[in-house]
Amino acid sequence: MSDLFAPLREPEPVSPPPAEEVRRRGDRLRRRRAGRAVLGAGVAAALVVAGTALVLGDRASDSAPRPAETPAPESVIPPELDLADGLRRTSADMSGSVEALLVCGEDPSLERLAVATDKAGDVSQGDFNVRDLYVYPDTDTAAAVTRGLVGRFESCPRFTDDAGRDWTTEVRPTDHGDRGWVVTRFVETVGPNVSPAEGIQVARVGEALLVLRQREIHGVTPDSLPRGTSMQVGWLMHRQLCLMTDEGCAWRSDPDVLRPDGWGPLRLGMSREELEGTGLADVDDDGECTFVDLGAGQGLLSASGGLVSITVPAGVTTPDGIGLGSSHQDVIRLYYHGARVGDVLQVRASPTADYRLALEGGRVTGLTLSAVDDECTD
C-alpha cells in the first residue's frame, strides 16, 4: 500500500454486512467467475493460434491471425469502478489529445487479448495524466501480458525516436498490486522541442492490468514523477481496484464511511417514499428543496432530483479517513485535485457527486456528499 494513506486514522472495526449484501456479493463474484471461465476458453484458443510471441514482444507479421473478438459480460469491470477517481472534475476531453503508449517506437497492443478495457484521464496545457485498465480472461494471461510489457521497457534502456531525440528509460519494481513496476522516461538533450519527462506505473491485480502515465512540462522532474504516480496508484488500489479482487473494498460496507453514492442505506437520488421507507428519515413538508432529518445527519430533498445531499456527523469520514476535525494540511495533501469555493473544498467523489468539505480554523467543520446537479445547496 502506498504511503498516501499511512497518516490516516487507524481503521475502526467494520460491522459485518447484512445477509442481503453478502448474498449480493456472492452472486457478483459467481457471475464474474462464470464470465471469465467462458472468455478464458475463447482466448486460450486464440493464444494457441497467435503464439506467445504476441505478449512477449516478438514482432508479428501483418498476416498473423488475430484472436476472435469476444463480447465481455458487463460484470468483468464492476459498474461502480471509477477510473477517474482522484482527477479534477474539470478534466479535459482526451480524444486526440494524448499520444498512444509506445515502447521503443512500437505499440505494445495491450488490448489485443483483453476482454474489457476502460480509460480515464486529465489533459491540461500540455500535461497529461492517463489511466488505462485492461482485463484479461485469466490471471496467467494478465501476468504474461504484463511481464511482456515490462520486458520491452527493460530491453530498450536507450532509444532514438524519429525526431532524433535520445530517450533514456529506467525500470524499477514496486509493491503495488500483485506485481508492479515504475518506468521513468526522459530526453537528455536540451532545446525548445524536447519532450518532457514521463512517468509510467504498471500494476497487475489478478486478471486486471493498470497502466498509468503522467507527463509534465511545468517544472516536474524525472525524480519526482515516480512519487506522484505512485501516490495515484495507491489511491486507486485503495478506492477502486479493490473491486477487482474477491475481497472487494472493505470501506464500501463500513457504516462510518460516506461513500461516493451515499451513507449506510441512504443513497443520493432516493425519492421521498424511498427515504421514509428506510425508517431513518423524517422529511419536512413538500417543497422545491425540503429538509430531511437523518437523525445524526441531515439531507436535502429536491422536488426534481430526489435526495441531493447528505451531511454527516463527527465520526463519519470519506473513504480516505477525512472527516470533521481533520486538519487542513491532511485535506490538501489528499485532495490537492479539489476545487476551492470560498471556505468549501469540492472534491470529485464520483461521476455524479462531490464531497463538500467546509474548512474553518485549519480544520474540517462540515462534510457533505452532494449531487453534481444539486440545486438546493448554496
Which helix (H) or strand (E) segment holds residue 184: the answer is: strand 179-187
Edge to edge, the sheet with strand 158-160 lists 116-124, 127-135, 208-215, 198-205, 179-187, 166-174, 158-160
3-state helix, strand, coil in the chain (%, to 5): 25, 30, 45
- Residue 284: what pLDDT? 82
- Residue 2: what pLDDT? 35
pTM as predicted: 0.75
Strand partners, 82: none
Contacts of 65 (CB under 8 A, 6+ apart): 49, 50
**Cell numbers found for residue 220:** 516536474
Nearest to 290 by CA among 172, 377, 215: 377
- Residue 10: what pLDDT? 39
pLDDT by position in tens, the chain (length 378):
333 333 333 333 434 444 444 344 445 444 444 444 444 444 444 443 344 443 444 433 344 445 445 544 445 899 999 999 988 887 655 555 677 888 988 999 999 999 999 999 887 756 788 999 999 999 999 999 999 999 999 999 998 877 777 888 999 999 999 999 999 988 765 555 555 688 999 999 999 999 999 886 666 666 778 888 899 999 999 999 999 998 999 999 999 999 999 999 999 999 999 999 999 999 887 778 899 999 899 999 998 879 999 999 999 999 999 999 999 999 999 998 899 999 999 999 999 999 999 999 999 999 999 999 888 876
- Residue 190: what pLDDT? 57
Q: How far is CA 189 from CA 168, 318, 357, in A?
A: 10, 45, 45
| Sequence spans of domains, the chain | 3-250, 255-371
- Residue 69: what pLDDT? 52
Q: How many CA atoms lie within 13 A of 10 on its CB side?
A: 1
**Amino acid at position 25, single letter:** R
CATH architecture type of domain 255-371:
Sandwich (2.60)
**Cell numbers found for residue 265:** 442505506
Q: Distance (Å, rounded) from C-alpha 250 to C-alpha 17?
A: 10
Q: Distance (Å, rounded) from C-alpha 362 to C-alpha 359?
A: 7
